[in-house]
Structure 1
């Protein structure tokens, strides 16, 4: 049991790093679930499977 206490004492100076990482992971998970864009500065629409560049109506479509 004392080994665990010593280990936690060694990690104490890094507590804010763990808080930062936990907050970042929470933000990324929330953005992923809600479909928000992160670090995107243009007004480009989100990619969709049936968009204008899909295979069925693209340049390489053969009749």
Structure 2
């Protein structure tokens, strides 16, 4: 019984290490993508980050031709 319990604890510790590694990799990816957004925004001279407080555009605004 004790051996089974020890085995379960070690398996859980291993799973925790795997999940921590995965979180670390995801954080690196997030940091990279955020930096790419910043660089692209600087190059394009536009704030390309989504502003979540504004409603999305419907894309069918009226344009007047002259």
- Give me the TM-score of the superposition, normalised by structure 2: 0.41
The structure that is helix-richer by fraction is 2
TM-score by length of 1: 0.43
Which structure has the bigger radius of gyration?
2
Q: Which has the higher contact order (CA 8 A, sep 6+)?
A: 2
